[in-house]
Structures are given as C-alpha cells and as structure tokens.
Chain A
Amino acid sequence: MDNNKKIRNIIQALGEHKDSQAAIDLLTELGTNSPDDEIRELTAQTLIRKNTHESLRVVLISKGKGINDLSARVAMASINELLSLKDKSEAIKILDDTIKMHSEEDVRNTARSVRALMTFSS
C-alpha cells in the first residue's frame, strides 16, 4: 500500500470519526493545505459529506480551499459534492452569507455561481 493510499484511508476514517470537531480540525490543517491535488480533493469531499456548519465553512468561504481552490479539479469535485448533498440547506445558508458579507470579491463571485447551480439542481 503506497503512502497516498494510506493518507486516503486516514481521510476516510476521519470522515467517519466519532470526534467530529477534532477530525474537521485535522482535515482543515493537513488535508486542505496538502500540496497534492488528490489529497485536497478528497479532503474537500469529506468535509462536504460531513454537512456541518464548521466543515462547510472551510470549503465554501476559505480562499484557496474547496470551491475556491486554484486547482479546477479540486474546485469542480467540491461543487459536484455540494450538488449531490441530500440536505443542502446549511450549504445554501453559508453561501448566502458569503455573497452578502465576504470581504474577497473572488470568493463572493464563486459563492454566487455555486449558489445559482444549487438553486437549479434542487
């Protein structure tokens, strides 16, 4: 088993972990800052699947993470994961707040686009 596969398993285990807040903190610290696109992609998907306010904030409003990632692959994977959520209410609420209040123009624009996509898909 190579190191990437081991890290992917650790990320998956953190997604199922009982200590949810500690798992989100670790995913935010190591996963979203990983130089590997694949690791960042998997981390963003795991955080979105958790579907909590804390986990969604990381991938929706942080510059360079989740839907705002510079890698199109990571950003697209995050958007797809958001669109496949059964309960999108928390994600829509955060996106609305971001469109209204975020200081960064790029982040606001991205949030607006994703919000529109979520409206059409639901």
Chain B
Amino acid sequence: MQIGKLSLHTTKAAQRTTANQNAQANKLSTNPFGVSFKGNVIQADVFESAKKSSTNIAERGKLFASAVVSGINNFNESFKSRMNAIVSFGKQVTKNVFDTVERIGNTEITFDMTGLKNKLFPDREYSVKNLANKSVDELKTMWSDLTPSVA
C-alpha cells in the first residue's frame, strides 16, 4: 500500500511540472495548437504538409477567381447577344406596327351593304318569305337564271 501511495504522488507531481512548462511555453509560442513533444513546445509551423496545403489554397483561389471572371465574361457575352436579339425584335415589331398604321391610313374603306348582306346570309335572298314579296316578273327572271339553258 505504501508503495502504491508513493507512486501516485510521484505521478501527480510530474503532471503538475509538465502543466507549468506548457503554460510557460504557451505564452511564448505562436503555435495555436500548442503542440509539444516531450515537454518542448514547437515554436513554429514545421509541418511540410501544412505549408503545401497553404500553397494549394492560394492556387485554388486563383483558379476559382479565374473561373469566376471567365464566367462573368461568358455571361456578359450571352447577355449582350440576347439583348441584341430582343432589341432587334422590338425594332421589327415597331416597324411592322408603323407600316400597318400607314397602310390603314392609306386604305379607302367602302361598304357594299347589299352585297355584304348577300354574302353573309346567302340563303336569305332565296327564302320563301323574301321571294313571296317579289313580283312574279322578278321571280320569273330569277327562275330563268337558275335554269340551265338547253342548247
């Protein structure tokens, strides 16, 4: 039992000493991780892989920026071409409207009401009611016109 207590004491004392050293080292160190090896705090970033990764990030950043710029350029070009198409379509529509208005202005509109009525209601002229109000001579002429002449 005695031996067990002593060994526990010794271990706790050793832990306390290591903690003090680490606290001292943390004050001086710039390493945010505070990594220590056998009680010695690493003062600088000595990992090769870390340096490499930082370089890669920068390169990736450039690549990303370049991609963004080219994307913007592509967008500008497509936007311009679309805008040109829209503008030309608008111009064509405006031209057509003006042409139509001009044509309407130059067109003389006359209404042949009798002809229009006959065209709209072709059967009305030959309705029994309408025919009964005509003279027999008129009916004779109409009938003769409808009968094919025998040669």
Interface residues of A (CB under 8 A from B): 1, 3, 5-7, 9-10, 12-14, 16-17, 19, 22-23, 25-26, 29-30, 34-35
Which residues of B111-151 have CB atoms within 8 Å of chain A's CB atoms? 122-123, 126-128, 131-132, 134-136, 139-140, 142-144, 146-147, 150
Given contacts A1-B123, A1-B126, A16-B128, contact A34 B147 (CB under 8 A): yes
The total of interchain contacts (Cβ-Cβ below 8 angstroms) comes to: 52
Contact assessment for B128 and A12 in the assembled complex, using a CB-CB cutoff below 8 Å: yes
Dominant SS among interface residues on chain A: helix
> Quick check: B146 and A14 within 8 Å, CB to CB?
no
Dominant SS among interface residues on chain B: helix
Given A1-B123, A7-B146, A34-B147, A17:B136 Cβ within 8 A: yes
- Chain A CB count within 10 A is highest, among B122, B135, B139, B142, for B139
- Least Cβ distance of B117 to chain A in Å? 15
Asked whether A30 and B136 contact (CB < 8 A) given A9-B131, A10-B131, the answer is no
**Which residues from chain A contact B128 at a C-beta distance below 8 Å?**
9, 12-13, 16
Contact of B126 among A9, A16, A19, A34 (CB under 8 A): A9
Instruction: Point out the residues of chain A lying under 8 angstroms from B139, CB to CB.
Output: 10, 13-14, 17, 26
| Chain A nearest CB, measured from B64 CB (Å) | 80
Whether A17 contacts B143 by the Cβ 8 Å rule is no
User: A30 and B143: CB pair below 8 A?
Assistant: yes
- Do A6 and B132 touch across chains, with their CB atoms under 8 A apart? no
**Given A17-B132, A30-B144, 16 other A-B contacts at CB below 8 A?**
A1-B123, A1-B126, A3-B146, A6-B126, A7-B143, A9-B126, A9-B131, A10-B142, A13-B134, A17-B136, A17-B139, A19-B135, A26-B139, A30-B140, A30-B143, A34-B147
